[in-house]
Amino acid sequence: MNEAEVVSLICEHLQDIHWKFWIDDHPIHKELRFQKHCLLIGGARPDIFGLNDVKQIFAVEVKGLKDYKKAIGQALTYKSGVHLSYIGGLNSFLNKISNIAISSGLGLISVDEYQLIKFLDIYKRKTKL
């Protein structure tokens, strides 16, 4: 599953839970049907950003099949400008970085092989959605 497909699945879930969001206007997202905008936080651009159901600003750095270690640095950069910073990606890859991500104050949004979404939010208990 490539990055754009992961972005699309996460966005569909965010719509279902009524979070307001935009996706980055990067060319890899051009085919996606979600509202696009560009947000720069510390020189980096989150793939998804917006407001959750309690009006907290969130950002998500999404990966497909590679660059999960790089995602940690990007998501840490976003923490300077948002309340909640997540790494979104494939469950099998997120499992490899989950300990360092969580200990660094990052949440995780995983997509499994059945396209099920699971949040691991450091501010709440682990929930299956």
CATH number of domain containing 98: 3.40.1350
| pLDDT tens, residue by residue, 12-47 | 999 999 999 999 999 999 999 999 999 999 999 999
**Three-class secondary structure of residue 126 per DSSP:** coil
Distance, CA of 68 to CA of 18 (rounded, Å) = 27
Quote the number of domains for the chain.
1
Mean pLDDT of all residues belonging to the chain = 92
- Output the DSSP codes for 53-69: TTS-EEEEEE-SSS-HH
Percent of all residues in the chain with a pLDDT value above 70, rounded to a whole number = 94
Distance, CA of 52 to CA of 31 (rounded, Å) = 24
* pLDDT surpasses 80 at 122: no
- Output the DSSP codes for 26-41: -GGGTT--S-EE---B
Domain carrying residue 98? 3-128
pTM reported for the whole predicted model: 0.92
* pLDDT surpasses 70 at 112: yes
